[in-house]
Amino acid sequence: MKEHLDLNSILRRLRPSHVRNLLLTGLIVGASLMTGQAQEKAAAPAPDVIVFKTGDQLTGKLERGVGDSIVFKSDAVGEVTVSMDKVKELRSSSNFVVLRKDEKVTRTPKQPENITVEEGAIKQTAPSGASETIASKDVGYVVDGATYNKELNGNPGFFSGWDGSATGGATVLQSTSYGQTYTAALALIRAIPSVSYLPPRTRTTFNLLETYGKLTQPVVPNPTNVPAAVAKTSIFHTDFEHDKYISPRFYMLGGLSYDHNFSQGLNFQQIYGVGAGYTVFQTAVHQFDVKADIHYEQQKFIQPIQLAPPAPLFPLTPDQNLIGSTFGEAYKRTLPGKILLTQSGTYIQSWNNTNAWSAIGALGLALPVYHRFSLSVNLLDNYLNNPANGFNKNSLQFVTGVTYTFH
């Protein structure tokens, strides 16, 4: 019969030296845990505190400042924007960089300093003890030190830092005539740095638009089984551009684009070019850019089906290899209600065949509906002066869809 072992019997069998070793190990582990917890508690920064002129207080964290307002995040009320003229005192344990409104920002790093807000002014205190007071009317931005230096000199990987939107729409018809039309669009942008208070270094954009549809119209009545007529829509566009800023407004660019437009008989068009651009103005409300390039362009057209004689032969449209230039402008504006208006125009001129020119115009509105979802309404007009034989020069689209915005 096996002996039943309980805790007392186990302890009786242990040698005194074993007991001493176990107790010593337990004391060391316990002390280590207590020391780690004490260090974590000691490392936790004290919360920031706002004291309002009314006497009320709010604890949390100072996030940033723009002009004479600060953004403060509290567990109690969330993220709030507070005007500095309502603040009697603000104490923060973090270090910040304060940029004046008239300050010319360069890529030279700045030392983050401790700040306090007293009676509508910001007081900076350097590690050396020297202090400076800046009136709220002279403040441009207040940025935490880690964010400032990361945005100033950071170089994120190619697949990080992208913002933009995705749009989708569909039309389905099911009757005597039947068919579907689908629209999908993707617009991405990556700006380095990603904040407006630092001078831009690079900007990369990627756009894609596809409209595809098919409508089948049977012959009614059809006693002889005549095949139904099928109308197809296929319009595709994508472009990629990388901008390298020489100054806060002037930049050099390199880009490419690919197009297919069945309604103009354009089977495939590709453009590769380099050029320059200029930001005419940029504010928190709107921005306007102009650009120009010189490029290589190739056009391949849809050729007619040639029937066997004695059917007439249709003239072919020659493919084109072109050297040309693109002249473009782009404007965007935030309207009341956070409605986004976008407008762009592009003129493409060939120099070795002046008849081979084209123009593109776009106008769009994005109306916020729910969180990141918006209702988008877009008007797109493509004009090709040298379409394939038998095709129209102009292609006009009116597209509506649902847009999801990335942040």
pLDDT in tens, 180-206: 999 999 999 999 988 877 888 999 999
pLDDT in tens, 208-255: 999 999 989 888 887 778 888 888 889 999 999 999 999 989 999 999
Average pLDDT over the chain reads 86
Say if residue 82's pLDDT is above 50: yes
Count of C-beta atoms within a 10 Å radius of residue 141: 21
Residue that the structure tokens 């038998």 belong to: 390
* Among the listed residues 151, 148, 152, the one whose alpha carbon sits nearest the alpha carbon of residue 107: 152
Q: Which residues lie closer than 8 Å to 357 by C-beta, 6 or more apart?
A: 324, 347, 348, 349, 350, 385, 386
pLDDT in tens, 137-160: 888 889 888 888 888 777 777 788
For residue 23, the one-letter residue type is: L
Domains of the chain in start order, with CATH, are 48-153 (no CATH), 163-406 (2.40.160.40)
Confidence bin at 36 (pLDDT 50/70/90): low
Q: Which residues lie closer than 8 Å to 5 by C-beta, 6 or more apart?
A: none
Tokens at residue 33, please? 């845990």
Confidence bin at 101 (pLDDT 50/70/90): confident
CA atoms within 13 Å, Cβ hemisphere of 44: 6
| Range scoring the smallest mean pLDDT among 26-35, 264-273, 330-339 | 26-35
pTM, two decimal places: 0.75
Higher pLDDT, 261 or 5: 261
Say if residue 20's pLDDT is above 60: no
pLDDT in tens, 367-397: 999 989 999 999 999 999 999 988 999 999 9
Question: Which pLDDT belongs to residue 102?
Answer: 80
Average pLDDT over residues 95-122: 84
Question: Which pLDDT belongs to residue 6?
Answer: 54
Strand 373-384 and strand 139-144: the pairing is unpaired
CB 200 within 8 Å of CB 193? yes
